Structure 1
């Protein structure tokens, strides 16, 4: 699963496989924590993160929603997603 962004110890990844399941989403890792974030709603739909990292990851997702959706379209076609600018 390629890493598409990293910031403040948060790693963002997206699977690329033609049969990836809806809703459009990405995976977030922070230490031993992991979560799945819905791209359309910018909400955690599975797992959890510490409060501060949740706020950072969701703020980043809102800012990068269009790029995340473009990457989602790539992964549905079995193509590797592009890197996305980290939160700064």
Structure 2
């Protein structure tokens, strides 16, 4: 799974699978021991991260929507 970005202790990855279970590739977020999965629209799908880190991830997704 390629790393797209790293900032403030957050690692952003995206896994693209042909014929995978997801219609759109999810964004995987790793922050220390915490992991979470977000949709491309910025919705948290699974996992837990702190609210401050979640806001940073949502901002990152918004900035990189194109």
User: TM-score of the superposition, structure 1-length normalised?
Assistant: 0.67
Mapped to 1, the partners of 2:6 and 2:57 lie a distance apart of 10
Paired residues of 1:37 and 1:44 also in contact (CA < 8 A): yes
**Cα RMSD over matched residues?**
1.3
1:63-83 deviations in Å (ceiling 9; x for gaps): 1112xxxxxxxxxxxxxxxxx
- Structure showing greater Rg: 1
Where structure 1 has 5 or more consecutive residues not aligned to the other structure, the ranges are: 67-88
- Show structure 2 runs of 5+ residues with no match: none
Q: Which is richer in strand?
A: 2
Instruction: Give the count of matched residue pairs.
Output: 65
Is the 1:11–1:28 Cα contact (8 Å) retained in structure 2? Answer: yes
Matches within 5 A, 1:3-82: 3-24=3-24, 25-40=26-41, 42-66=42-66
Bigger relative CO (Cα 8 Å, ≥ 6 apart): 1
More helix by share: 1
Distance in 2 separating the partners of 1:43 and 1:11: 17
The alignment partner of 2:52 has SS state of helix
